[in-house]
Amino acid sequence: MKKIFLLLLTAFLFVGCGKDEDTIYDFIGTWAGTYEGTEKGDWNVVVATDGKVTGTLHSDQTKENYYISGHLSESGDLVATIGFPEDGEFR
């Protein structure tokens, strides 16, 4: 009985010890923070389950808001653009 238990325990250890897989699940959700350098301000982004990243950035110096749009890879690399909001009217 003891040998069977040790054999099963060893088998479960090998099954449970797989390679680490890169996923974005640790990053999904809403994130916020501040930045500081030649300018400073705050930012907010949402990471969706498909890796799509959307959000806003506010500059304390210019008092302007910018949009953030991009994609998060499975390894956690963020590729995004920051741009001006379009002028116009929303209906």
Residue type for 53, please?
V
pLDDT of residue 91: 53
CA distance 34 to 63: 14
Q: How many CA atoms lie within 13 A of 3 on its CB side?
A: 0
Instruction: Work out the average pLDDT over 36-61.
Output: 93
CA distance 30 to 56: 12
pLDDT at 31: 94
Give the model's confidence band at 36: pLDDT under 50 very low, under 70 low, under 90 confident, else very high. Answer: very high
DSSP designation for 51: S
d(CA 81, CA 68): 6
The residue extents of the domains of the chain are: 23-83
- How high does pLDDT run on average in the chain? 79
pLDDT at 84: 80
For residue 43, give the nearest of 73, 71, 64, 15 by alpha carbon. Answer: 64
pLDDT at site 89: 54
pTM exceeds cut of 0.85? no
60 vs 18, residue with greater confidence: 60
Q: Which pLDDT score is estimated for 1? A: 46
